[in-house]
A and B are shown apart, each in its own frame.
Chain A
Amino acid sequence: MTTDFRPGRAVLVGAAESDLGAVGEGFSAIDLMAQGVYRALDDCGLPVGEVDGLFCATSQNRLAGLALAEYLNLPEAYIDSTSTGGSSFMGHLARAEAAVAAGLCKVAVVAYGSTQRSLGRKNTSRPEWNPYESPFKPFLPPTAYALAAARHMHEFGTTREQLAEVAVAARQWALLNPAAWEKEPLTVEDVLASRMVSYPLTLRDCCLVSDGGGAVVVTTPARARALRKPPVYLLGSGHCTTHLTISNMPDLVNTGARVSGSLAYAQAGLTSSDIDVVGLYDAFTINPILFLEDLGFCAKGEGGAFVSGGRIAPGGMLPVNTNGGGLSYCHPGMYGIFLLIEAIRQLRGECGRRQVPGAEVALAHGNGGVLSSQYTVILGGASTQ
């Protein structure tokens, strides 16, 4: 679906991560969510008392919106705690903009927190029993993505080496990001030689399991004017849900990103060639390959070749996942918020050694479930207004 919000009706003014990595015993998901909110507000200079819209999700709190309202002491805030998995925050951003534009709130935060590394995945994201899949013991989510990767290899000749190139490029970006979890170089051979998880995906084809959270702040153009950071604009967004369970995905090598991207591009009046910096939800190495194809950066089936030879790495032809991605920077369960944070920072020119010079338009593509929910947003810097 798409919503008719024109750019400029609400703007992004703050962005921050919580503590990342392994935060230590005793922290709750909401601790990190709130820490992200406070830091994002500090980033732009807004006091928490002005926040009147809460958009959040986490697998650890069924009533995440209530938990955040309680924690921040905001009893009257507008709440949206829709979960579409890792893409939730792209949806939150789109609806926060709509809510601000509609006057439902004036200062909205989009927030996430997770302690899945400290508590263990099985304690933080309990699998739901599905009688048509669970008896076969797919190791989810990796097996779902492995099935897509195997089909992509079968149809297009994509190789495990090409999958590994995605992890290697992510690692090279991560080495330029002081906040990234991984600190050592990685080679294609390292990826291929690491422990097999669900063929054809090894441990290094899979994202990190970390703690972490973060938030972004959305407000009216008028309120943004007096703040300390230049605003970032939501130029377009689009969403597509093709399935929930992998056995119901219509086509394993064509994702809903084709639809979500088309909607976002149309709304922004842009094409893939206008994008300066790309963020793709890289829970597994097959994801960027699929999304680069479906978002129009290369033809269907050519994603494996496209990511090879350092073309999405630092110094390559297209900067993808400049923070190091879910593969090497952090991945606390639902990663979408971090794609938004990095896009905002790139558009503000705050990224230090990994800064894409002159970045004016950023694409952040969220993925939820098992290639189930695809949510594309396109953000622009000051020059896009």
Chain B
Amino acid sequence: MQTDEQAGSGAPYARYVRHLKAGELAYQFSPVAGRAVFFPRVRCPYSGQDCLEWRISAGVGTVYSTSVVYPRKGDPYNVALIDLDEGFRLMSRVVMDDPMQVAIGQRVRFQAVAEAELDDPIPVFVPLESAP
């Protein structure tokens, strides 16, 4: 298990983004509650205590649900909710040629990507079997 032991942190989102820029998917863990915490917070939402640890996810998860958005202009695209194996969920997309082929229960792997229109990198997912 990879952790980030650095003391202090500033804004939770800023620290999360620093990891994304290093190609890592960071999340918090509450030893008091014994469970993962996501999105990152200033304190544990289950105990109210200042106990949160930062950990680095192995980046492997399962599609919890999936939709395909059909914009009025442009191609349909995937929006999915991913359950990471460490026990936290986030919104993302699964990168496949046909977004309708993304399936609930599918195993997926994290990649950090930078997009021209966004200031910060974002976590996307690819099917586990096709990951490098």
Contact = CB atoms under 8 A, between A and B. Distances in A.
Interface of A: 131-133, 135-139, 143, 146-148, 150-151, 154, 195-200, 245-248, 252
Interface stretch (B2-10, B28-36, B50-58, B88-96): B88-96
Nearest to B100: A199
Interface string B60-95: 000011111111000011010100000001111100
A208 to B, nearest CB: 18
Given A136-B122, A138-B79, A138-B91, A252 B68 contact: no
B104 A138 contact: no
A150 B100 CA distance: 12
B127 to A, nearest CB: 17
- Of B91, B92, B100, B105, which is in contact with the most chain A CB atoms at under 10 Å from its CB? B91
B92 A136 contact: yes
Interface string B15-28: 00000000000000
A301 to B, nearest CB: 15
Contact of B65 (A136, A139, A154, A197): A154
B91 A136 contact: yes
Contacts of B90: 132, 247
B112 to A, nearest CB: 12
Contact of B67 (A131, A198, A245): A198
Nearest to B40: A132
Given A150-B67, A199-B100, A247-B90, A143 B79 contact: yes
B81 A147 contact: yes
B115 interface: yes
Nearest to A155: B104
B89 A197 contact: no
B70 A131 contact: no
A154 B89 CA distance: 18
21 contacts: A131-B13, A132-B90, A133-B91, A136-B79, A136-B93, A137-B77, A138-B69, A138-B79, A139-B71, A146-B67, A147-B67, A147-B81, A154-B65, A197-B69, A197-B70, A198-B68, A199-B68, A246-B91, A247-B81, A247-B90, A252-B65
B46 interface: no
Contact of B70 (A147, A148, A199): A199
B118 interface: yes
Contact of A151 (B64, B70, B100, B122): B64
B66 A139 contact: no
B115 A135 contact: yes
A143 B90 CA distance: 14
B13 A139 contact: no
Contacts of A198: 67-70, 79
Contacts of A196: 68, 70, 76
Contacts of A131: 13, 120
Contacts of B104: 150-151, 154
Nearest to B68: A199
Contacts of A135: 115, 118, 122
Contacts of A143: 67, 69, 79
Contacts of B115: 135
Contacts of B67: 138, 143, 146-147, 150, 198-200
